[in-house]
């Protein structure tokens, strides 16, 4: 006997990292990625950004894709589900904000300010000018502006010594290496956030048929271990069972 109601609730998820995955070294969305993401959306995949980037930056890229996206921000610190998707899938008219990290950026900054006394070379968003951020990251100023709107994490651009790490750990903070820099935050990761989202869909009786994930950096490994169809782009990481690709067009939909 077919179960039409269950059939209607079947969904697919497509998690993608941003830096050096969806977007290139110059912070532009890769053409092949744009094409593949649109094709995935047509095939009933819900697109989920999973990045160390801020909500403001992720929204900037979602607008360019012109499709509704779920945002996992700041390395899994929070999940934001726009009202449009929240209404469609969770009978909720408002934007869903799920904060997974108990750590606020202000606390991390207070620890870094103390560290700065012994490590004067250390540079991070909150002790850098907009021009310096542009220089460290290569971001144009309008994107550097969005990148420093952090809620849960701080990114260290320079001077990340082992002594610094020890002090951060002693203060209950965790470091995660991304494509470019080390980001400091709570005990969260993209995999934990992805599992939270998967559970949420399951609780609302959706059956997740396919779960794709793609990334390039160390901080993507927990995500790639969580999904059923993991893809690695580039040569930075290795993971058994993950398919290595050079382009989004190699992703099977
Ligand atoms: Mg990356």
| Whether the predicted pLDDT of 4 surpasses 50 | no
In angstroms, what is the span from residue 38 Cα to ligand 1's centroid?
A: 20
How confident is the model over 108-139, as pLDDT tens digits?
Answer: 999 999 999 999 999 999 999 999 999 999 99
How confident is the model over 227-243, as pLDDT tens digits?
Answer: 999 999 999 999 999 99
d(C-alpha 29, C-alpha 154), whole Å: 24
d(C-alpha 62, C-alpha 59), whole Å: 5
Average pLDDT, the chain: 94
Residues that are catalytic: 17
Tell me what the mean pLDDT of segment 84-102 comes to: 95
DSSP string, the chain: ---HHHHHTEEEEEEE-TBTTTB-TTS-B-HHHHHHHHHHHHTTEEEEEE-SS-HHHHHHHHHHHTS-EEEEEGGGTEEEE-HHHHHHHHS-SS-EEEE-----HHHHHHHHHHHHHH-TT-EEGGGS-HHHHHHHH---HHHHHHHT--SS-EEEEE---HHHHHHHHHTT-EEEE-SS-EEEESS--HHHHHHHHHHHHHHTT-EEEEEEEEE-SGGGHHHHHHSSEEEEESSS---TTPEEESSGGGS--
pLDDT of 178 reads 79
In angstroms, what is the span from residue 48 Cα to ligand 1's centroid?
A: 14
| Whether the predicted pLDDT of 99 surpasses 60 | yes
In angstroms, what is the span from residue 93 Cα to ligand 1's centroid?
A: 32
| Whether the predicted pLDDT of 165 surpasses 80 | yes
pLDDT of 69 reads 98
Tell me what the mean pLDDT of segment 1-16 comes to: 73
Which domains does the chain show, CATH number per domain?
A: 4-100+188-250 (3.40.50.1000), 105-185 (3.30.980.20)
**What whole-number percentage of the chain has pLDDT above 90?**
92
pLDDT of 8 reads 59
In angstroms, what is the span from residue 117 Cα to ligand 1's centroid?
A: 31
Q: How far is CA 137 from CA 81, 87, 144, in A?
A: 28, 36, 8
In angstroms, what is the span from residue 171 Cα to ligand 1's centroid?
A: 26
pLDDT tier, 89 (very low <50, low <70, confident <90, very high otherwise): very high
Tell me what the mean pLDDT of segment 76-102 comes to: 95
pLDDT of 180 reads 81
In angstroms, what is the span from residue 52 Cα to ligand 1's centroid?
A: 8
Tell me what the mean pLDDT of segment 181-203 comes to: 96
């Amino acid at each position: 006997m077919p179960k039409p109601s269950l059939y209607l609730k079947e969904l697919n998820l497509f998690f993608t990292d941003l830096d050096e995955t969806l977007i290139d070294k110059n912070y532009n969305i890769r053409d092949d990625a744009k094409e593949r993401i649109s094709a995935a959306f047509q095939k009933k995949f819900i697109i989920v950004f999973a990045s160390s980037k801020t909500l403001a930056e992720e929204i900037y890229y979602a607008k360019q894709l012109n499709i509704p996206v779920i945002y996992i921000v700041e390395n899994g610190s929070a999940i934001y589900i726009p009202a449009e998707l929240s209404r469609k899938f969770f009978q909720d008219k408002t934007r869903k904000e799920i904060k997974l990290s108990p750590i606020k950026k202000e606390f991390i900054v207070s620890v870094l300010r103390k560290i700065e006394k012994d490590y004067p070379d250390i540079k991070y968003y909150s002790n850098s000018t907009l021009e310096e951020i542009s220089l460290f990251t290569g971001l144009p100023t309008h994107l550097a502006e969005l990148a420093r709107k952090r809620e849960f994490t701080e990114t260290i651009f320079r001077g990340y010594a082992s002594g610094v790490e020890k002090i951060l750990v002693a203060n209950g903070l965790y470091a995660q290496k991304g494509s470019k820099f080390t980001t400091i935050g709570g005990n969260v990761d993209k995999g934990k956030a992805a599992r939270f989202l998967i559970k949420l869909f399951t609780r609302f009786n959706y059956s997740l048929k396919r779960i794709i994930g793609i990334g390039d950096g160390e901080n993507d490994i927990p995500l790639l271990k969580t999904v059923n169809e993991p893809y690695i782009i580039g040569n930075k990481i290795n993971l058994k069972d993950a398919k290595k690709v050079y382009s989004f067009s190699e992703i099977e939909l």
